[in-house]
């Protein structure tokens, strides 16, 4: 009885303010086999906007992905665009598809995770819609007001979009993951003719293989910096990481020195992480690195320089030689 009353009240107030009912298109990020975790975070952001949440699964032979998206809580509908045209998930092939869907369904919002995929795609979509996108939002205040960081996380900006379609990428670590169960959305196939992008030819991917948890969604992250002195020494961190079921990250200095591959970089221009526990080993704590990890719940710093800026953000600090302390820590855990 109460629910009927509230629904009626809500309908009246919507009508009263002449607000357009929100409907959000979430562009799923996946690998043709399963949804990537950041999609679950984007779904939570979409729910915060209110209204319908429609998920687009575009790829090649990605039926299973669409099925799992149907089970995600709070999803109203799943659109499946299955075609070889979307091989490599290029922005050039996906953008015209998304524009067609926007024209057809009159979405008020288009969201995706602020990953390499989302960052490459959404601004192109926004340009085609002639709207100004909002990048890497950390919170949604109302359906047109978003919060994001600027200057490497050193200032927080609240922006109000005046465009009729809001295109925004979502910082995964700022929104909880929506459960991928309990939902029962319908899956609808959409036409996929004419989207083959002749402009770009996808050749290949070279992905770093690892048995450890994925960096951006790991509960514990152990990162090494210039203080590690060599790539071989990162083994110390891998051993510790295995004990803690942690992902391994790195500062730009460690990546530039060739100790570890680029995709491990944490920071303003690398990945943004916010694990429960972040252990910074031999990392001084430059502004650009802090931008990528300072929302971690607990930060531990191990550095022999007591003046290192990392100690200003660390909950627990050890001023010591990492080559002594890290093996000791591994052994005692």
Partner 1 sequence: MARVLVGVKRVIDYAVKIRVKPDKTGVVMDGIKHSMNPFDEIAIEEAVRLKEKKIAQEVIAVSCGPTQSQDTIRTALAMGADRGIHIEVSGSDYQTLQPIHVSKLLAKLAKEEKVDLVILGKQAIDDDNNQTAQMTAGVLDWPSGTFCSKIEHNNGELTVTREIDGGLEVIKMKTPAVLSADLRLNEPRYATLPNIMKAKKKPIRKLTPKDLGIDITSRIEILSVVDPPVRQAGAILPDVDTLIAKLKEGGHV
Residues 220-279 that bind partner 1 (CB under 8 A): 220, 244, 252, 255-256, 261-263, 268-269, 271, 276-277
Residue 198 beta carbon to partner 1: minimum distance, rounded to whole angstroms: 9
303 annotated ligand-binding residue = yes
User: Which residue of 106, 200, 230, 305 would you call a contact of partner 1, by CB under 8 A?
Assistant: 200
As given in the structure block, the two tokens for residue 6 are 């509230």
Rounded to a whole number of angstroms, the minimum distance from the CB of residue 151 to partner 1 is: 5
Q: Considering the complex, state which of residue 25 and residue 53 has its C-beta at the smaller distance from partner 1.
A: 25
50, 51, 59, 88: which one binds partner 1 (CB under 8 A): 88
The answer to whether 285 is a known ligand-binding residue is yes
Is 310 annotated to bind a ligand? Reply is no
The strand pairing partners of 77, in sequence order, are: 54, 186
Residues 34-63, interacting with partner 1 (CB under 8 A)? none
CB 221, CB 247: distance < 8 Å = yes
Residue number with CB closer to partner 1 (67 or 158): 158
Q: How far is the CB of 43 from partner 1 (least distance, A)?
A: 18
109 annotated among ligand-binding-site residues = no
Measure the CA dihedral 170/172/173/175, to 10°.
Answer: 70
Write out the binding residues for partner 1, residues 143-172 only, by CB under 8 A: 145, 148-163
Nearest distance in Å: CB 59, partner 1: 15
Distance CA 115, CA 290 (A): 18
Which residue is listed with tokens 């992480």? 273
When the beta carbons of 22 and 136 are compared against partner 1, the nearer one is 136
User: Based on CB atoms, which residue is closest to partner 1, 128 or 226?
Assistant: 128
Beta pairing partners, 52: 23
299 is in an annotated binding site: no
Q: Which residues contact 152 (CB under 8 A, 6 or more apart)?
A: 268, 287, 288, 290, 291
Q: How many Cα atoms sit within 13 Å of 286 on the Cβ side?
A: 13
The Cα 296–Cα 279 span in angstroms is 10
Task: Name 167's bridge partners.
Answer: 110
Stretch of 5-13, 69-77, 188-196, 198-206 contacting partner 1, by CB under 8 A = 198-206
12 belongs to the binding site for partner 1 (CB under 8 A)? no
Q: How near is the Cβ of 162 to partner 1 at its closest, in Å? A: 6
Q: Which of residues 105-144 bind partner 1 (CB under 8 A)?
A: 115-117, 119-128, 130-136
Q: Where are the beta strands (DSSP E) in 43-133?
A: 52-59, 77-82, 109-113
Q: Tell me which stretch binds partner 1 (CB under 8 A): 20-28, 53-61, 68-76, 196-204.
A: 196-204
Between the CA of residue 183 and those of 70, 112, 160, 172, 186, what are the distances in Å? 6, 20, 31, 21, 10
Q: Is 272 exposed, middle or buried (0-12, 13-18, 19+ CB in 10 A)?
A: buried
Contact 84/192 with Cβ under 8 angstroms?
A: no
Positions 289 through 328 that interact with partner 1 (CB under 8 A): 294, 298-300, 306, 311-319, 325, 328
Applying CB under 8 A, among 203, 211, 232, 307 the residue interacting with partner 1 is 203
Contact of 240 with 331, CB cutoff 8 Å: no
Instruction: Determine whether the annotation assigns residue 251 to a binding site.
Output: yes
Classify burial at 282, counting beta carbons within 10 Å of its beta carbon; exposed 0-12, middle 13-18, buried 19 or more. buried
Specify binding-site residues for FAD.
226, 251-252, 265-269, 282-289, 303
């Amino acid at each position: 009885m109460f629910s009927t009353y509230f629904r009626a009240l809500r309908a009246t107030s919507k009508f009263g303010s002449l607000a357009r009912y929100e409907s959000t298109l979430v562009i799923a990020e996946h690998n043709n086999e399963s949804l990537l975790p950041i999609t679950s975070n984007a779904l939570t952001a979409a729910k915060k906007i209110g209204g319908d949440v429609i998920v687009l699964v575009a790829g090649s032979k990605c039926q299973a992905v669409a099925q799992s998206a149907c089970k995600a809580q709070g999803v109203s509908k799943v659109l499946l665009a299955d075609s070889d045209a979307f091989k490599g998930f290029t922005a050039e092939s996906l953008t015209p598809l998304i524009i067609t869907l926007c024209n057809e369904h009159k979405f008020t919002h288009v969201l995706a995770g602020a990953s390499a995929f989302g960052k490459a795609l959404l601004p192109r979509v926004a340009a085609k819609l002639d709207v100004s996108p909002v990048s890497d939002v950390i919170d949604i205040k109302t359906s047109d007001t978003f919060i994001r960081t600027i200057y490497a996380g050193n200032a927080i900006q609240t922006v109000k979009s005046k465009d009729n379609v809001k295109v925004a990428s979502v910082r995964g670590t700022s929104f909880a993951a929506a459960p991928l169960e309990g939902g029962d959305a319908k899956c609808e196939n959409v036409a996929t003719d004419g989207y083959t992008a002749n402009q770009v030819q996808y050749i290949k991917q070279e992905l770093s293989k690892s048995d450890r948890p994925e960096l951006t969604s790991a509960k514990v992250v152990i990162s090494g910096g210039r203080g590690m002195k060599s790539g071989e020494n990162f083994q110390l961190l891998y051993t510790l990481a295995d004990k803690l079921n942690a992902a391994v990250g790195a500062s730009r200095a460690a990546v530039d020195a060739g100790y570890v591959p680029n995709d491990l970089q944490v920071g303003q221009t690398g990945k943004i992480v916010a694990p429960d526990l972040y252990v910074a080993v031999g990392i001084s704590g430059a502004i650009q690195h802090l931008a990528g990890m300072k929302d971690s719940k607990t930060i531990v710093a191990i550095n022999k320089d007591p003046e290192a800026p990392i100690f200003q953000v660390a909950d627990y600090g050890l001023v010591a030689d990492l080559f002594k302390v890290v093996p000791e820590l591994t052994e005692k855990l």
